[in-house]
Amino acid sequence: MADNRAQKLHTVHFEPDNINIDVEPGANLMETAVAAGVHINASCGGAGVCGTCNVLIKKGRVESTRTDKVSVKDYQKGVRQSCQSRVVSNLVVEIPLESRLEKVVLDKEQTEIVTQMPAVLAAGWQFNPPARKLYLELPPPTLEDNASDLSRLLRGLRQQYCLENISVDFEVVIGLAKVLRSAGWRVTATILSDGDSGIRLINVEPGDTMARSYSLAFDIGTTAVRGQLLDLNRGRVLAQAVDYNRQISYGADVISRIAWAQKSGGLRRLKRAVVDTINDLVADLSRQAGVAPDEIAHVVVAANTVMVQLLLGLDPRYLRLSPYVPAASALPLIPASSVGIKLAKHAQLFAMPSVASYVGGDIVAGILGSGIYQRETVTLYIDIGTNGEIVIGNSDWMMTAACSAGPTFEGGGVKHGMIATTGAIEGFEIDPATLEPRLTTIGDARPRGICGSGLINIAAALLKAGVIGQNGKLNTDLASKRIRKGADGYEYLLARADETEIGKDIVITEIDINNLIRSKAAMYAGCQTLVKSVGSKCGIVEQVIIAGTFGSKINIENAIGIGLLPDLPRDKFVFIGNGSLLGARLTSFSRDLLSDSQRVAAMMTNVELSESASFMENYVAALFLPHTNAGEFPSVRLG
């Protein structure tokens, strides 16, 4: 019988990962790759319009229709859009360089996080983790004292730790009699404080295990998921790991994900994809730290609202429709196992509270971790990305806005755009005389494309050298073979085919620059609108915190040069790195900060930019390099 079934399935072999998977005939090839844990780019979420998920069929046959995303020549070679292909035989599939997501950069980042100390940090909190283990030596019952097992345990917590009014999870009662007796009445209780409300008894285990008390902090991003395993006794990061969010194959941005969730079974698949990602990270972290998953009692998740809702299986459709309403800003604790995370039954998941549909728990975590809400210093907090998030304020007030900058900063909407991985052009200089470029790439590899920070650096240099004008148009009067007309209009040649890894010329087009201008305009106009909403000007800003993994790679001078960041004294800028993960970690370390998280979310006033007339004005005014109003950028001098 097993044989019969096996004969009906097709085996798909992915190269260069060398991963096999058996699937039903007719399975979608992109989803097959997702199921196998093979990362394929799919910016558009499988709609067939972006052409980033192309693969090469080396053996076997798929059913597929050729679109204009695959040239006739490539089609004849066996190139197919994986999202548009169905498996109809055993296959050998190669994921070409352009379609692959590599872990090299993420792995590099991993070591970076460890050594990096944030320049700004929440202060004044005590190290008192919400999840605590408490060792108890209970007197065995006698005829004079035959209180119930649970009463005895609660009495022990009262007498030995002064804890009253503890609510009890029924799961604890189920195994209690056995645990107490097998352990000779010496047990370790795990309790969990839920912010300002009560204390819950979530687990009892034999013996003294107080020394082994752990939690997890996660930053669940649209592109990548970052996790840390924390020691709740010493307040230390024991291990960290990062991987692409497997949802990436269902679209690069939250809008595609929301659209995918509307398909039949879509929500379930997106949930599965991120849960699988988390489970792989949990296994990795456990292994690294030598901690069993059963020893982890608490999981703190910082994520944008869409990611939270997808993780919990909450339909995200209303996040996208005006008036943009999330399911819940503050969520109750949820058993991690009920979400599908492979931890002990008693482990509880806490999602950082959110402010609005596009201002999520990730940004609240960042504000919490950076301590902006504790200081009088008026601070501008910017997390640049597809969904840019901006906060301005101090301990008295806080305004926030999300601006849809588009995927430009992550390589989307750019002819040779790519995410910041091996071979992405990052550094760029130009010889003012010859107009010849000098490139540096991530991993010092042969160039494969341009990442977001590279794009900023290229645009700033081209602008300064006069290769592009303030309107973003190429100066075709210049005498350089690098400036030429291509298939998509005017372009600047960054690298010739024979210099690249992909065997094609890598160029930056006027369209690319135009997209960048729109993205940076959105971010800048967002900052401006937010500052103006409190009746002020950018001058009131005393500190600028640049958050996010992407943000930490930005060259401030170049970002100001193209008008992405406000023209403030450079010493006001600080990088905080992954503020979301920082906030999640600190929340796992401190009940004080856990309580603060609700307060921070509540004190943030959201400004809905997409509905703001003033934002539209600011946006249009910012569609220029660096800005139509030169007075906004006094320090920027063009060549």
Is 148 near a copy of itself (CB under 8 A)?
yes
Minimum Å gap between C-beta 247 and a copy of itself is: 20
Minimum Å gap between C-beta 360 and a copy of itself is: 11
Cα separation of 256 and 275, whole Å?
18
Minimum Å gap between C-beta 323 and a copy of itself is: 4
DSSP per-residue codes, 197-245: S-EEEEEEEES--TT--EEEEEEE-SSEEEEEEEETTTTEEEEEEEEE-
SS3 379: strand
What is the enclosing helix (H) or strand (E) of 502?
Answer: none
Of 21, 35, 347, 356, the one binding a copy of itself (CB under 8 A) is 356
Strand partners, 26: none
Q: What is the CA radius of gyration of the chain?
A: 27
Using the contact rule CB under 8 A, the part of the chain among 59-67, 85-93, 165-173, 447-455 near a copy of itself is 165-173
Using the contact rule CB under 8 A, the part of the chain among 95-103, 143-151, 449-457, 614-622 near a copy of itself is 143-151
Is 372 near a copy of itself (CB under 8 A)?
no
Using the contact rule CB under 8 A, the part of the chain among 41-49, 324-332, 483-491, 578-586 near a copy of itself is 324-332
Q: How far is CA 120 from CA 151, 282, 366, 382, in A?
A: 46, 28, 11, 14
Of 151, 262, 471, 629, the one binding a copy of itself (CB under 8 A) is 151
Strand partners, 23: 10
For a copy of itself, the closer CB: 148 or 635 = 148
Is 332 near a copy of itself (CB under 8 A)?
yes
Is 167 near a copy of itself (CB under 8 A)?
yes
Minimum Å gap between C-beta 230 and a copy of itself is: 24
Is 4 near a copy of itself (CB under 8 A)?
no
Of 142, 264, 265, 571, the one binding a copy of itself (CB under 8 A) is 142
Is 537 near a copy of itself (CB under 8 A)?
no
Q: Which residues of 470-509 are buried (b: 16+ CB within 10 A; e: fewer)?
A: eebebeeeeeeebbeeeeeebbbbbbeeeebbbeebbbbb
Is 324 near a copy of itself (CB under 8 A)?
yes
Are the C-beta atoms of 321 and 311 separated by less than 8 Å?
no
- Locus of tokens 């796992």: 588
Site string for a copy of itself, 184-223 (x = CB under 8 A): -------------xx-------------------------
Minimum Å gap between C-beta 182 and a copy of itself is: 12
Using the contact rule CB under 8 A, the part of the chain among 73-81, 146-154, 372-380, 505-513 near a copy of itself is 146-154
Using the contact rule CB under 8 A, the part of the chain among 84-92, 120-128, 162-170, 572-580 near a copy of itself is 162-170
C-alpha angle 256/330/355, rounded to 5°?
60
Cα 594 to the center of its chain, rounded Å:
21
Of 37, 78, 141, 206, the one binding a copy of itself (CB under 8 A) is 141
Site string for a copy of itself, 257-296 (x = CB under 8 A): ----------------------------------------
For a copy of itself, the closer CB: 138 or 582 = 138
Cα separation of 619 and 520, whole Å?
9
Are the C-beta atoms of 162 and 199 separated by less than 8 Å?
no
Are the C-beta atoms of 347 and 294 separated by less than 8 Å?
no
Strand partners, 491: 484, 509
Using the contact rule CB under 8 A, the part of the chain among 42-50, 108-116, 312-320, 456-464 near a copy of itself is 312-320
Is 150 near a copy of itself (CB under 8 A)?
yes
Is 362 near a copy of itself (CB under 8 A)?
no
How many residues contact a copy of itself, by CB under 8 A?
49
Pairing of strands 199-206, 79-81: unpaired
Is 327 near a copy of itself (CB under 8 A)?
yes
Cα separation of 363 and 487, whole Å?
40
For a copy of itself, the closer CB: 104 or 173 = 173
Of 17, 208, 315, 557, the one binding a copy of itself (CB under 8 A) is 315
Minimum Å gap between C-beta 517 and a copy of itself is: 28
Residue 45 CB contacts under 8 Å (≥ 6 apart), including other chains: 250, 251, 252, 256, 257, 259, 260
Minimum Å gap between C-beta 148 and a copy of itself is: 4
> What is the helix, strand, coil percentage profile of the chain, to 5?
35, 25, 40
Site string for a copy of itself, 596-615 (x = CB under 8 A): ----------x-x--x----
Nearest to 266 by CA among 451, 45, 446: 45
SS3 564: coil
Are the C-beta atoms of 410 and 424 separated by less than 8 Å?
no
Cα separation of 607 and 170, whole Å?
43
Site string for a copy of itself, 168-187 (x = CB under 8 A): xxx--xx-xxx--x------
Q: Based on the number of CB atoms within 10 Å of its own CB, is 407 exposed (0-12), middle (13-18) or buried (19 or more)? A: buried
Of 331, 382, 414, 545, the one binding a copy of itself (CB under 8 A) is 331
Is 165 near a copy of itself (CB under 8 A)?
yes
Strand partners, 486: 489
Of 56, 210, 238, 330, the one binding a copy of itself (CB under 8 A) is 330
Using the contact rule CB under 8 A, the part of the chain among 44-52, 93-101, 145-153, 513-521 near a copy of itself is 145-153
Residue 594 CB contacts under 8 Å (≥ 6 apart), including other chains: 130, 193, 195, 350, 587
Q: Which residues here bind a copy of itself, judged by CB under 8 A?
A: 141-143, 145-152, 165, 167-170, 173-174, 176-178, 181, 197-198, 312-315, 317-318, 322-332, 334, 338, 354, 356-357, 606, 608, 611
